[in-house]
């Protein structure tokens, strides 16, 4: 059934009928399998991937690395759960390397994100240090190409052609 999951991850708008046809299954089998995946928590939701830069050029996003002190008997879960409750936070990952957590955030501006890091993230008792990386251009996100070489972005025309 990995084919079913692959199809849904590529295009969640496919109908049960289309999926059934592609996988040579009955619509009932596809519906039941999707329902089972949802019930088991394998499918956690469906969402559109939006190129926000085309909608609102004033939005900003960043990847923030956090070095934290895990709590005894609770590890990194407690601090990760606290961080993911903030509205600005889109994703939280436990990572290997110099930092412990990677956090993806979105704000109205780079200044808003900087204030969020300064006032909310860095003040959490488990946070030892942060490193903020502002996302300047998203070329590909969730396996979807957002900006290709064929598209002209006037923000990058520094030298004037």
What is residue 144's three-state secondary structure? strand
pTM of the full structure: 0.70
pLDDT in tens, 45-56: 888 877 766 776
* Domain topology for 52-141: Alpha-Beta Plaits (3.30.70)
User: Residue 61's beta-bridge partner residues?
Assistant: 106, 135
CA 66/CA 91 separation, integer angstroms? 13
Q: Domain limits of the chain?
A: 2-39, 52-141
User: Which runs of E-coded beta strand occur in 1-135?
Assistant: 60-68, 89-94, 101-107, 127-135
pLDDT in tens, 129-141: 999 999 988 888 8
- Match domain 2-39 to its CATH number in 2.170.270, 1.10.10, 1.10.3470, 2.60.300: 1.10.10
Closest CA to 23 of 13, 36, 35, 33: 33
């Amino acid at each position: 059934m990995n084919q079913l999951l692959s199809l849904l991850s590529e295009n969640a708008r496919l109908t049960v009928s289309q999926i059934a046809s592609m996988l040579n299954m009955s619509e009932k089998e596809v519906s039941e399998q999707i329902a089972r995946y949802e019930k088991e928590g394998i499918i956690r939701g469906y969402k559109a991937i939006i190129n926000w830069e085309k909608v609102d050029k004033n939005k900003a996003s960043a990847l923030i690395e956090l070095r934290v002190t895990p709590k005894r008997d609770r590890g990194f879960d407690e601090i990760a759960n606290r961080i993911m409750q903030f509205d600005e936070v889109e994703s939280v990952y436990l990572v290997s390397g110099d930092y412990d957590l990677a956090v993806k955030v979105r704000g109205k501006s780079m200044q808003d994100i900087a204030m969020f890091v300064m006032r909310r993230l860095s003040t959490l008792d488990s946070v030892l240090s942060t490193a903020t990386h502002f996302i300047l251009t998203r070329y590909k996100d969730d396996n979807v190409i957002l900006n290709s070489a064929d598209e002209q972005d006037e923000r990058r025309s520094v030298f004037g052609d």
